[in-house]
């Protein structure tokens, strides 16, 4: 390790609790980090003592860009930019005085914290804090110590091979590394909810693919481009996403011709779930993900969800089920999908919307209504004509 050279320390939280399975989660996280950092230069990525060390290998390594990438990698609880030195107090004091100069000159109060992972180090943590605090007060006499609400926190970490100096850590994305929890297919509508649902399941380690239904000429090319832009935006957190686009016009037209109007939406969703399961099987996905929230619209009552789930042969994950719209919008703003989701291009869910949908449908009645027409050939045709493209991290968003 190049002493005094700036590097990134990434701390993981939940992974540390994984016991005998911990190494599996660590390996996946390390692969995700290396894959993401390839876009911003050459970095070495190593791990020790529940910390990942990211250090640039040459002049191509952009530490600022690396920090931006690391903030969005699930599995990382906290991040900081640090510098390393020998494990002796004189080197620690000299490095802290030098590398934090700009930060300390612009502050009025500070405190020092110390973490002594190497218990063989001769000074205990309180002694390190006291002695280094005295050194910094001598170097920057305008400063005052405030242990309760300091403007700057100077942290010293004594680890296995080096000591590390850094300012305050920033919060990471948290959760579990993408890919550690299997793979699932997200029903991506183009609204506010479904991108948030995908984000939340990716944060639990799920590798996301996405499926979208189009109904030309009732839906426009702009509507599809909007959903593709959402998919691209989600890659910043979810990694590369396989995107499946299903032609749905014929199915919706036959629903209108043959089924009672009050059941249009429920039957449409049942057919979407049937198609999604077939695509999920092809893509080796073990579950479906939807953005449903209980009671938000007529089809999202418990009775409506029961009628939809009746056709499901694999689990349907609904991470937003207990959230209200305000909470979902807040999350959409945080992951920067809200502005795209609210563009005025309607998806196929708005086609042939019933004037008076059945709010509390009975499964037997829905099945009887759906059985008035054999949708199987059209389902098979829609699956066969489904197109797929892959959206990659760092790709361009086109609207």
Domain residue ranges of the chain, discontinuous segments joined by +: 6-171, 183-391
- For the stretch 205-239, pLDDT in tens is 999 999 999 999 988 889 999 999 999 999 999 99
Helices (H) and strands (E) in the chain — how many of each? 14, 15
Percentage of the residues of the chain whose pLDDT score is greater than 70:
98
pTM for this predicted structure: 0.91
**CATH topology for 183-391?**
Rossmann fold (3.40.50)
* Residues composing the chain: 399
The pLDDT assigned to 266 comes to: 93
Percentage of the residues of the chain whose pLDDT score is greater than 90:
81
394: pLDDT strictly greater than 90: no
H or E, element range at 80:
strand 78-85
In the predicted model, what is the mean pLDDT of residues 199-207?
A: 98
Residue 31 in tokens: 């692969």
In the predicted model, what is the mean pLDDT of residues 327-346?
A: 93
In the predicted model, what is the mean pLDDT of residues 366-380?
A: 96
Between helix 249-258 and helix 264-282 the angle, nearest 10°, is 150
The pLDDT assigned to 219 comes to: 86
The position carrying tokens 């695509």 is 279
The pLDDT assigned to 14 comes to: 87
333: pLDDT strictly greater than 80: yes
Q: Which of 297, 291, 312 is nearest to 264 (CA)?
A: 297
> Is the distance from CB of 288 to CB of 188 less than 8 angstroms?
no
- Name the pLDDT band for 396 (thresholds 50, 70, 90): confident
Q: Which of 66, 67, 140 is nearest to 100 (CA)?
A: 140
Contact partners, residue 293, CB within 8 Å, separation at least 6: 193, 300, 320, 321, 322, 323, 324, 325, 328
The pLDDT assigned to 13 comes to: 83
Candidates 3.40.50.800, 3.20.190.10, 3.30.2130.30, 3.30.450.40; correct CATH number of 6-171? Answer: 3.30.2130.30
b/e sequence 114-128, b meaning 16+ C-beta within 10 Å: bebeeeebebeeeeb
- For the stretch 300-332, pLDDT in tens is 889 999 999 999 999 999 999 999 999 999 999
The pLDDT assigned to 3 comes to: 56
Residue 217 in tokens: 């000429």
């Amino acid at each position: 390790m190049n002493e005094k050279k700036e590097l990134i320390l990434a701390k993981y939280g939940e992974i540390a609790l994984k016991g005998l399975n911990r190494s599996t989660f660590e390996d996946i996280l390390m692969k995700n980090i290396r894959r993401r950092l390839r876009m911003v230069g050459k970095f070495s990525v190593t791990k020790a003592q529940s910390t990942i060390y990211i250090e640039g290998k040459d002049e191509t390594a952009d530490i600022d860009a690396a920090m931006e990438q690391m903030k969005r990698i699930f599995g990382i609880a906290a991040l900081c930019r640090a510098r390393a030195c020998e494990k002796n107090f004189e080197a620690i004091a000299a490095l802290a005085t030098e590398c934090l100069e700009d930060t300390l000159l612009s502050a009025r109060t500070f405190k020092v914290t110390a973490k002594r992972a190497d218990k063989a180090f001769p000074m205990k943590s309180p002694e390190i804090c006291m002695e280094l605090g005295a050194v910094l007060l001598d170097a920057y006499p305008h400063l005052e110590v405030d242990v309760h609400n300091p403007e700057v926190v100077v942290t010293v970490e004594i680890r296995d091979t080096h000591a590390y100096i850094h300012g305050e850590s920033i919060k990471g994305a948290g959760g579990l590394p993408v890919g550690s929890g299997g793979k699932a297919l997200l029903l991506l509508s183009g609204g506010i909810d479904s991108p948030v649902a995908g984000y939340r399941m990716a944060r639990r380690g799920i590798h996301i693919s996405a499926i979208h239904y189009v109904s030309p000429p009732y839906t426009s090319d702009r509507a599809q481009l909007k959903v593709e832009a959402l998919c691209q935006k989600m890659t910043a957190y979810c990694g590369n996403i396989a995107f499946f686009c299903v032609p749905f016009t014929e199915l919706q037209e036959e629903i209108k011709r043959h089924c009672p109007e009050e059941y249009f939406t429920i039957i449409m969703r049942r057919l979407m779930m049937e198609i999604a399961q077939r695509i999920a099987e092809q893509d080796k996905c073990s579950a479906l993900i939807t953005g449903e929230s209980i009671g938000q619209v007529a089809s999202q009552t418990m009775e409506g969800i029961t009628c939809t789930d009746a056709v499901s042969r694999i689990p349907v994950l609904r991470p937003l089920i207990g959230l209200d719209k305000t909470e979902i919008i807040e999350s959409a703003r945080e992951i920067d999908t809200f502005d795209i989701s609210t563009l005025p291009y309607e998806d196929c869910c708005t086609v042939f919307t019933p004037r008076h949908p059945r709010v509390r449908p009975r499964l037997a009645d829905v099945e009887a209504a759906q059985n008035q027409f054999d949708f199987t050939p059209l389902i098979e045709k829609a699956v066969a004509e489904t197109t797929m493209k892959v959206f990659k991290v760092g790709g361009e968003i086109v609207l």
